[in-house]
């Protein structure tokens, strides 16, 4: 049997995370939801790309992740797959896509892998998802788990707050993380948890922790790209460090272009097309008039 179409030698696969953790190397993950950002993020050198349901907040303007559909994630995953050569592509399972039975969840995850080109899926929840994680892993679907603040539970939690702040809540969180590791997850997102708890979880687990708002002790750091580059609206959570102001760059470009159009400075002759020399304009005008 010939193994055709090999990936790039440096392509990141799931086992790379375990290897990096063992060597104490930090990895990075960013979100992407379309072809151009996937290309930029991949070529910049991140190891993981998450096609996150945060698209509900940052590109669809839903205000939360609840309305995001499997089709929206699928379409975004396809575009990201076309743009990324090296990074491991993880597709988020949106709310409702893994809540109505394990068989349905497997079918939806397979869709993201087979049709979308995802190389792993992510889903939210603690011990209540352990059986499903095991089933998915048994079906050859790598799973990234997600505990702490789980945005799909926003209504149950009553807002976006730091999780695991009491000794009891921290203990539950640590046990959940271990249970998900035992179920076969290859990594686990820790979102909005105290850094001390994230450090304990990272130390206790063999799989990688992927931190967002969980301090510097996690094995992998993840951020929403739009937050990092300043392409969002409103107040950002304290863990976001904004490295650029893309909204301002876009506004400046549009403002400049509008000024040029209104003053007759755009388009110039070089930015438009003339008739070929052999066409006599006078004759043409006499025909049309
Ligand atoms: O959807 C997303 O972008 C996420 C990250 C915040 C981890 O789940």
Residue with CA at minimum distance from ligand 1 atom 8:
52
Residue keyed to tokens 């205000």: 63
Residue 3 scores a pLDDT above 70? no
The model's confidence at residue 7, banded by pLDDT at 50, 70 and 90, is confident
Instruction: Read off the pLDDT band of 251 (50, 70, 90).
Output: very high
Is the CATH number 3.20.20.60 carried by domain 15-228+237-244? yes
Best residue among 123, 189, 218 to mutate for probing ligand 1's pocket (most ligand atoms within 8 Å of CB) is: 189
pLDDT of residue 6: 67
Beta strands in 118-195 (DSSP E): 120-122, 143-148, 187-191
Match 């597709």 to its residue by tokens: 91
Instruction: List b or e across 54-67, with b for residues whose CB sees 16 or more CB atoms inside 10 angstroms.
Output: bbbbbbbeeebbbe
pLDDT of the residue at 48: 98
Q: Quick one: DSSP state of residue 122?
A: E
Give the Å distance between the CA of 185 and the centre of ligand 1. 16
* End-to-end Cα distance, the chain: 71
Structure confidence at residue 289 (pLDDT): 77
pLDDT at 5 over 90: no
* Model confidence band, residue 9 (pLDDT cutoffs 50, 70, 90): confident
Answer whether 87's CB lies under 8 Å from 39's CB: no
Q: What integer is the mean pLDDT of 237-261?
A: 98
Burial of 154 (0-12, 13-18, 19+ CB in 10 A): middle
CA-nearest residue, atom 4 of ligand 1: 52
Lowest mean pLDDT among 21-25, 265-269, 279-283: 279-283
With a cut of 90, say whether residue 190 has pLDDT above it.
Answer: yes
pTM (predicted TM-score): 0.95
Give the catalytic positions in this structure. Answer: 191
Q: Separation of 53 CA from ligand 1 center, angstroms?
A: 6
Which H or E run contains 255? helix 246-262
Residue 8 binned pLDDT confidence (cut-offs 50, 70, 90): confident
Q: Burial level of 71, CB count in 10 A (0-12/13-18/19+)? A: exposed
For residues 222 and 189, the answer to whether their CB atoms sit within 8 Å is yes
Mean pLDDT (whole number) for 115-138: 98
Residues 157 and 87: their CA atoms lie apart, in Å, by: 33
Mutating to test ligand 1, I would choose from 76, 185, 222, 228 the residue with most ligand atoms within 8 A of its C-beta, which is 222
Average pLDDT over residues 25-30: 98
List residues near ligand 1 (CB under 6 A).
31, 50, 52-54, 92, 189, 191, 212, 222, 224
Q: Is 60 a residue whose pLDDT tops 90? A: yes
Query: Residue 256: in which H helix or E strand, if any?
Result: helix 246-262
Domain ranges of the chain: 15-228+237-244
CB atoms within 10 A of CB 170: 18
pLDDT digits (tens, 9 = 90+) for 145-179: 999 999 999 999 999 999 999 999 999 999 999 99
Which position has the higher pLDDT, 287 or 142? 142
Rounded mean pLDDT of 266-273?
A: 97
Q: Mean of the per-residue pLDDT values for the chain?
A: 96
Q: Is the pLDDT of residue 207 over 70?
A: yes
What pairing do the DSSP bridges indicate for beta strands 220-223 and 143-148? unpaired
Q: How confident is the model at residue 285 (pLDDT cuts 50, 70, 90)?
A: confident
From the CB of residue 184, how many other CB atoms can be counted at a distance below 10 Å? 18
């Amino acid at each position: 049997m010939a193994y055709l179409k090999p990936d790039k030698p440096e392509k990141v696969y799931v086992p790379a995370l375990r290897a990096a953790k063992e060597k104490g190397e930090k990895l990075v993950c960013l979100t992407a939801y379309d072809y151009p950002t996937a290309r930029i993020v991949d070529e910049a050198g991140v190891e993981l790309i998450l096609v996150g349901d945060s698209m509900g907040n940052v590109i669809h303007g839903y205000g939360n992740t609840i309305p995001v559909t499997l089709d929206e994630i699928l379409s975004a995953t396809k575009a990201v797959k076309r743009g990324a050569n090296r990074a491991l592509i993880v597709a988020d399972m949106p709310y409702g896509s893994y809540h109505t039975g394990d068989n349905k969840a497997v079918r939806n995850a397979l869709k993201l892998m087979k049709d979308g080109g995802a190389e792993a899926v992510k889903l939210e929840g603690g011990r209540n998802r352990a059986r499903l994680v095991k089933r998915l892993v048994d079906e050859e679907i790598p799973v990234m788990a997600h505990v702490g603040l789980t945005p799909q539970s926003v209504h149950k939690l009553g807002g976006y707050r730091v999780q695991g702040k009491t000794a009891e809540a921290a203990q539950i969180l640590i046990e959940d993380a271990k249970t998900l590791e035992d179920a076969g997850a290859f990594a686990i997102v820790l979102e909005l948890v105290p850094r001390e708890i994230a450090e304990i979880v990272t130390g206790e687990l063999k799989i990688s922790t992927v931190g967002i708002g969980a301090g510097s002790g996690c094995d992998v750091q993840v951020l929403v790209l739009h937050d990092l580059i300043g392409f969002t609206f409103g107040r950002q959570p304290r863990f976001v460090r904004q490295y650029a102001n893309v909204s301002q760059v876009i506004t400046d470009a549009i403002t400049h272009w509008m000024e040029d159009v209104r003053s007759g400075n755009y388009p110039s002759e070089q930015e438009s097309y003339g008739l070929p020399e052999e066409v006599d304009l006078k004759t043409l005008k006499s025909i049309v008039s």
